């Protein structure tokens, strides 16, 4: 296992967010308070006057956040990037805006017979998510769609708090020696919260599973199989974040986290959403997929931003699906990872 260091970065951003943060460090396992103030916040989309979203880069950006009692603001933004041009081997990078730290993302291929060959954070940087894709059994012309999730904490003067030492990436080999049963895992260390991960495959290999078990010191799993000729290769990357931010001088701690799962009936596609059932602000930060068959590569694994106040998707959604070019049906379990403040 290798931990990739994150560089420090400062930025400036304006937020129009409200709310009250739950109690600070040491309260991460507490139940949500019953008197938390909640008000609808506008979903920020492209072409709005605040200019948060460059229409040349993004389809839209969706932002949701809370203000702490000591004047800091915690914001999470889902960036939905534009599709790539059609190609047999498209690649894409979905960047977050300056001042944000990339904590998650996802990718999906547009063709049924194609799938991502990689979907992971830009290692060693704070900047976004990167992905590639290809035809599963042979060349297929298709586009690639990518997402990125950015986290930012700003003080009362809208200066960004340095979180460069609090977001960690752990890369590992998932090669077992059997090209039909590639696999590997990594467990984040004590003090970290597992918030998602990704993978990178090559030599005709594709991922069939990418999922988490546990969030506090949790484990990220990646499995795969070789579908085309080549020297099969599979690697995984887990993303961890300090339980209190910043760890060196905490402003707040995560108060609630979940892994929610839903299994499809027909194996074609499955979607899951968080319900409006908590007084905490919750955000989708990671998505996983568990296939019932080694014959079904992951076709898409994407987070979605928050919906309107009171809607089923108020705290965000995520979806995952696998594809079956070999005709194998089965089913897939989609996994949505959330964290709350």
Q: What is the pLDDT along the chain (341 residues), one digit of tens a residue?
A: 545 433 332 222 322 223 322 222 222 222 222 222 333 343 444 545 445 678 888 888 877 777 877 888 888 888 999 999 999 999 999 999 888 999 999 999 999 899 999 999 998 777 899 999 999 999 999 999 999 999 999 888 888 899 999 999 999 999 887 999 999 999 999 989 999 999 999 999 999 999 999 988 899 999 999 999 999 999 999 999 999 999 999 988 887 788 888 777 665 555 555 544 444 557 788 899 998 888 889 999 988 766 554 555 566 678 888 888 777 777 888 888 888 77
Instruction: Look at residue 7 in the predicted model and tell me its pLDDT.
Output: 34
Alpha-carbon distances of 238 from 104, 214, 319, rounded to whole Å: 10, 12, 19
| Region at 164 (left for phi over 0; alpha for psi -120 to 50; beta for the rest) | alpha
Burial class (CB in 10 A: 0-12, 13-18, 19+), 45: middle
Provide the CA 133 distance to its chain's centre, in angstroms.
Answer: 18
Quote the domain boundaries for residue 288.
Answer: 2-340
Instruction: Look at residue 120 in the predicted model and tell me its pLDDT.
Output: 96
The CATH number covering residue 115 comes to 2.60.120.690
Provide the CA 334 distance to its chain's centre, in angstroms.
Answer: 13
Q: Which residue has the tokens 């998650």?
A: 104
Number of domains in the chain: 1
Planar angle of CA 114, 84, 299, nearest 5 degrees: 25
Instruction: Look at residue 305 in the predicted model and tell me its pLDDT.
Output: 65
Instruction: Look at residue 35 in the predicted model and tell me its pLDDT.
Output: 27
CA distance 192 to 150: 18
CA distance 313 to 307: 5
Give me the residues paired with residue 289 across strands: 210, 334
What 3-state class would DSSP assign to 23? coil
Structure tokens at 309: 């106040």
Phi, psi for residue 327 in degrees, rounded to 5: 95, -5
Q: pTM for this structure? A: 0.83
Task: Determine contact, residues 204/154, Cβ cutoff 8 Å.
Answer: no
Instruction: Look at residue 272 in the predicted model and tell me its pLDDT.
Output: 56
Task: Determine contact, residues 197/220, Cβ cutoff 8 Å.
Answer: yes
Structure tokens at 103: 């904590």
């Amino acid at each position: 296992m290798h931990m990739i260091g994150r560089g420090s970065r400062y930025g400036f951003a304006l937020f129009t967010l409200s709310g009250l943060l739950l109690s600070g460090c040491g309260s991460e396992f507490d139940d949500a308070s019953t008197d938390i103030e909640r008000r609808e916040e506008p979903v920020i989309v492209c072409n709005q006057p605040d200019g948060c979203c460059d229409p040349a880069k993004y389809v839209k950006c969706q932002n949701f956040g809370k203000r702490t009692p000591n004047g800091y603001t915690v914001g999470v933004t889902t960036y939905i990037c534009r599709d790539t041009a059609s190609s047999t081997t498209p690649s894409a990078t979905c960047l977050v805006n300056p001042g944000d730290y990339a904590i998650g993302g996802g990718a999906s291929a547009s063709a049924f017979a194609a799938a991502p060959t990689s979907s992971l954070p830009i290692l060693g940087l704070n900047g976004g998510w990167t992905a590639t894709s290809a035809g599963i059994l042979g060349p297929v012309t298709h586009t690639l769609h990518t997402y990125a999730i950015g986290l930012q904490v700003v003080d009362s003067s809208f200066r960004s708090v340095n979180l460069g030492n609090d977001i960690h990436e752990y890369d590992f080999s998932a090669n077992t020696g059997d090209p039909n049963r590639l696999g590997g895992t990594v467990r984040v260390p004590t003090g970290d919260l597992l918030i998602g991960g990704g993978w990178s495959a090559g030599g005709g290999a594709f991922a069939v599973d990418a999922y988490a078990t546990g969030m506090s010191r949790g484990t990220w799993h990646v499995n795969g199989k070789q579908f085309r000729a080549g020297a099969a290769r599979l690697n995984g990357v887990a993303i961890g974040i300090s339980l209190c931010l910043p760890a060196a001088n905490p402003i707040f701690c995560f108060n609630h986290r979940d892994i929610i799962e839903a299994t499809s009936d027909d194996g074609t596609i499955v979607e899951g959403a968080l319900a409006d059932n908590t007084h905490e602000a919750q955000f989708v930060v990671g998505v996983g997929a568990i296939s019932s068959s080694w014959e079904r590569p992951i076709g898409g694994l994407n987070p979605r931003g928050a919906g309107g106040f009171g809607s089923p998707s108020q705290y965000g959604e995520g979806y995952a699906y696998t594809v079956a070019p070999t005709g194998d049906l089965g089913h897939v379990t989609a996994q949505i990872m959330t964290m709350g403040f």
